[in-house]
């Protein structure tokens, strides 16, 4: 099982969790380290630096939740996920340019006090 180029990290994580639930329903115990390995083993080559950073982490400090958060952050960092419809909509909107008004020529209170 591998992460497809057009598959988001969220979908990848959900598909791995789906398999875990099937295994657990068959009375097979899935340990956290097994899940971490499953989540990272099917990643494309451009995730190799991320995997190396996980390899440097002691096994007893790895947990599924932190790895999932790191995977989602890494996907965002790499910009390899397909933007959702909300992002596409926002990038297609033609918003008017903001024009800033000229500052008023009124004297400030401090300058008035100085002149007294």
Task: Find the angle CA(2)-CA(10)-CA(59) to the nearest 5 degrees.
Answer: 70
Express each pLDDT in 66-115 by its tens digit.
899 889 988 888 874 445 444 444 444 444 444 444 445 555 555 555 55
What is the predicted pLDDT for the residue at 108?
52
Rg of the chain over Cα atoms, rounded to whole angstroms, equals: 25
Express each pLDDT in 26-70 by its tens digit.
999 998 888 988 999 989 998 999 899 888 888 777 788 889 988
| pTM recorded for the entire structure | 0.62
């Amino acid at each position: 099982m591998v992460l497809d180029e057009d598959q988001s990290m969220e979908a990848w994580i959900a598909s791995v969790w789906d398999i875990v639930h099937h295994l657990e329903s068959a009375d097979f115990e899935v340990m956290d380290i097994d899940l971490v390995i499953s989540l990272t083993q099917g990643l494309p080559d451009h995730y190799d630096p991320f995997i190396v950073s996980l390899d440097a982490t002691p096994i007893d400090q790895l947990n599924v939740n932190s790895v999932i958060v790191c995977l989602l952050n890494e996907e965002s960092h790499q910009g390899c996920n397909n933007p959702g419809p909300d992002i596409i909509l926002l990038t297609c909107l033609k918003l008017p340019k903001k024009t800033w008004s000229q500052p008023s020529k009124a004297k400030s209170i401090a300058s008035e006090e100085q002149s007294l």
